Structure 1
Amino acid sequence: MATGGKIELIHEDWDFLQLHVALYFHSEISGIPINMAPKKTTRGIVQRLKGKQGRFRCNLSGKRVDFSGRTVISPDPNLMINQVGVPVRVAKILTYPERVNPANIRHMRELVRNGPSMHPGANYVQQRGSSFKKYLAYGNPVAAQDVHYVPSGPKCSAEDIRFNECACTPYNADFDGDEMNLHLPQTEEARAEALILMGNQSNLVTPKNGEILIAATQDFITGGYLLTQKEVFLTKEEAMQLAACFLANEDSTMHIKLPPPALLKPRRLWTGKQMFSLLMRPNDDSQVRLNMVNKGRNYTGNKDLCSNDSWIHIRNSELMCGVMDKATMGSGTKQCIFYLLLRDFGELHATKAMWRLARVRMTRFYCGLN
């Protein structure tokens, strides 16, 4: 432009500059004219970051570090969304340094007596002011100031890491031989950061658009779909069997109020929709009163008179009508019941509802309920 070039040359140089800026960011864009294609191909910023050979997966995630383990993953609906089932063999080897104080000295002495052969136990004892560690596999176990003990928690007898299937989406995990790493933070600060910042219960939605990322998937959706069909009726024994599957973990002593039967004559029967409502509000003490009106995937019209029963209406956590499907239980939407539970009542109620749905699906499978 300074030398008074023709407008055609200016446009051509402009396009050439624009192309090279684009190639600087993404070197594999398509549709490049032959006369403008670069003679030497380079790796753009995108190519340097993404993929298995990119900076994240190859140089950051692929580091070899201490206090970590790796093995095959498997699904386990019994676990909460924020829990991981660790093989006993791995749990006996990985340790966490625990400082002895008056509040935990009795528990620490018990761990030292168990030693490295029992779980939970302790592998090493370290005296205050000393860097020397006593390995408890040899000699007599003694009480000490600093104990490297094996953390207790959900564990499985198999040789695989297990977690709830609802958490597969953010990890892009499937169970055809995938492996995952297990890390143990070694300080209280790192432990707190991992628990609060990296915990699944604190990352249920994606920062990209705020949609729910961890929600029901595959056979959990199928189970909820089959349970809420309008022709599904359960006897008292079957209804109590499904309700009893909520009694586990910290809810093992929870009181569950079974709603009145939908049919009284000739036999008392409960609907599947009533059982699904217990996922959200198992008793009168619960403060969860979810309200939602939404169209299902098979909605035809006429709202609650839809021929496919695909008009979902939830009032005070009671499913009045409609069949639950992927649109109302799956991820990638803001009309999912778990997103609404998270938004209105917090992450605890959302994760518990997912876990209860997983337990209901598993109970129906093992008990042969249709």
Structure 2
Amino acid sequence: MKAHKAILVTENGETYYGWSFCQSLTSLGEIVFNTGMTGYQEVITDPSYSGQIVNFTYPEIGNTGINNDDVESGMPLLNGIITKNICINPSNWRLNQSLISYMKEKKMMHIYGIDTRKLTKYLRSHGTMYGCISTEILEPRSLRLTMLNEIPLAKTQLKDSVINASTSTSYHLSKIKPYYPCYYQSSQQKDNLLKNLTVIVIDFGVKYNILRNLSKYIKNVIVVPASTNSKRILEYKPDGVLLSNGPGDPENVQYAVSNVLDLMEAKVPLFGICMGHQIISLALGLRTFKLRFGHRGLNHPVGLGKTISISSQNHGYAIKMDDKKLRCVKITQFNGNDLTIAAISHKSYPFFSVQYHPEASPGPHDSETLFLHFIRVIELINRYPVIV
């Protein structure tokens, strides 16, 4: 297993020297950082990182290798990873292959051996920016010039990142294998009473664990492409619609905003997660803005008043505070770190959304009950339709 010299150059000229197991590759993307101490496999396969290069602040990844259970999508869509160390000899009872062999198999560009804490501090001070990892162009100035020429095309491609991350065809969700930790006894694995409901998931880059959580409670889950129009969605006669997470700028997904407006007119219960939260907010007349360096980690406090939950987050945009536009909306949670909006609920209709990930894979399970809350909202509307 031979390592090759590699360099990382940022768009404003910062250069880091390291190593990579990929030979003769160059990859460009927006550099973001994730502060989680675990869950690198779920991060790597999260479609919300499409087109980005992820800098892991935890100093060593790959210790437990890669298994078949913890993937969050069919294939990784990110453009590279940055880490201090990569474990060469992983060990875990669920191990299927090493992280190194996985990255080589997926042709995933990476660099290791650099000071990731220094890079993270730099991004916190200067904001997220484009960067380029290469094992074929090892002269920083030449690599930076190449990168600067390609950034406009990369930004254009990012506008289609939701379409690239979404399913191309609609499908009924079949049974997803549940994951129970090894310390669970069979007596603890109580079967849930499945509700005879139909929920449509609009796939902007959905994570498998969102679908896994829905399938625990709902018999009929249908996943549709991001571009599916509202008329087609309503033909399914849905009891509710979940708007999934996804990559990129929500302002680029205006077709989805238009479809959600139609669904709101039909008073269909809506639940938005991350990108879905932003699209619901845009449909309600709010606006988004780009965060300086985003929220990407497993320990973000969210809450209101004296109530706090710990959440998993992965997003680069947030909702603007606008008192005039918030008249029909109740803010139900703020982010405890920077007081950005973390969750909203419509004051009159069954629409609510969260900026974080209640399926939390990886991350804490404080907010997992939101899926049950969604079901209770649906059942309430079915029982008392006159209220809407």
The structure that is strand-richer by fraction is: 2
TM range (shorter): under 0.3
- The structure whose Rg is larger is 1
The structure that is helix-richer by fraction is: 1
TM-score, length-normalised on structure 1? 0.26
